[in-house]
Amino acid sequence: MRTFNYKNLENLKLDSDIVFLLGRIHEAKGKQELFLVQKPKELDKLVEIAKIQSTEASNAIEGIRTTDARLKQLLIEKTTPKNRAEEEIAGYRDVLNVIHDSFEYITLNSNYILQLHKMLFARTGLEIGGKFKSVQNYISTIDESGNPYTLFTPLAPYETPKAIDEICEQFNKAIAENKVDPLILIPVFIHDFLCIHPFLDGNGRISRLLTTLLLYKCGYLVGRYISLESKIAQDKNLYYDALAKSQTGWLEGRDNPTEFIKYLLGIIVSAYRDFEERIDIVTVKTSSIDMVRKAISGIVGKFTKTDIIKLCPNLGVKTIEKQLKTLLDLNEIQKHGSARATFYTRN
**Comparing 46 with 192, which gets the higher pLDDT?**
192
Give yes or no for residue 40 having a pLDDT over 80: no
What pLDDT score does 79 carry?
Answer: 84
pLDDT of residue 222: 93
Length of the chain equals 347
CA distance 168 to 122: 24
- Is the per-residue pLDDT at 39 higher than 80? no
- pLDDT at position 119, please? 96
DSSP 15: P
CA 117 to chain centre: 16
* For range 10-39, the mean pLDDT: 88
Around 151, how many Cα atoms within 13 Å sit in the side-chain half-sphere? 16
Average pLDDT score, the chain? 90
Does an H or E element contain 119, and which?
helix 110-120
Give pLDDT, residue 58. Answer: 93
pLDDT of residue 255: 92
Residue at 273: amino acid letter: R
Average the pLDDT over each of 32-41, 48-57, 262-271, 316-325 and give the range with the smallest value. 32-41
Contact 251, 2 (CB under 8 A): yes
The pLDDT of residue 145: 78
Distance, in Å, from the CA atom of 140 to the CA atom of 152, rounded to the nearest integer, reads 7
The mean pLDDT value for 14-31 works out to: 93
Segment 124-130 shows an average pLDDT of 93
What are the tens digits of pLDDT across the range 71-111? 888 888 778 899 999 999 999 999 999 999 999 999 999 99
Cα–Cα distance for residue pair 198/189, rounded to 1 Å = 13
Closest-CA residue to 216 (of 102, 344, 58, 91) = 102
CB 2 within 8 A of CB 250: yes
Give me the DSSP letters along 276-331. Answer: HHHHHHHHS---HHHHHHHHHHT--S-B-HHHHHHH-TTS-HHHHHHHHHHHHHTT
The winner for highest mean pLDDT among 118-122, 330-334, 336-340 is: 118-122
- pLDDT, tens only, 256-295: 999 999 999 999 999 999 888 887 776 666 788 888 888 8
The per-residue pLDDT for 202 is 96
C-beta neighbour count of 205 within 10 angstroms: 25
pLDDT of 144: 76
pLDDT at 217: 97
Residue 26's pLDDT band, with cuts at 50, 70 and 90, is: very high
Give me the pLDDT at residue 242, please. Answer: 94
Residue 152 burial by Cβ neighbours in a 10 Å radius (0-12, 13-18, 19+)? middle
Start-to-end CA span in the chain (Å): 61
pLDDT in tens, 216-270: 999 999 999 999 999 999 888 899 999 999 999 999 999 999 999 999 999 999 9
> Which residues, 6+ apart, have CB-to-CB distance to 171 below 8 Å?
6, 108, 185, 189, 214
For the cut 90, the answer to whether the pLDDT of residue 47 exceeds it is: no
CA distance 232 to 265: 12
Return d(Cα 203, Cα 138) in angstroms, integer.
12
Residue 114: HSE in the Cβ half-sphere, 13 Å Cα cutoff: 13
Question: Which residue, among 145, 95, 146, 85, has the nearest Cα to 116 in the 3D structure?
Answer: 95
Domains and CATH numbers, the chain: 6-281 (1.10.3290.10), 288-346 (1.10.10.10)
pLDDT computed for residue 282 by the predictor: 66
Q: Give whichever of 32-41, 184-193, 248-257, 305-314 has the largest mean pLDDT.
A: 184-193
Name the percent of the chain lying above pLDDT 70.
Answer: 98
Residues 6+ apart with CB under 8 A from 85: 59, 64, 65, 66
Q: pLDDT at position 343, please?
A: 92
pLDDT at position 85:
92
- Residue 100: what residue type? H
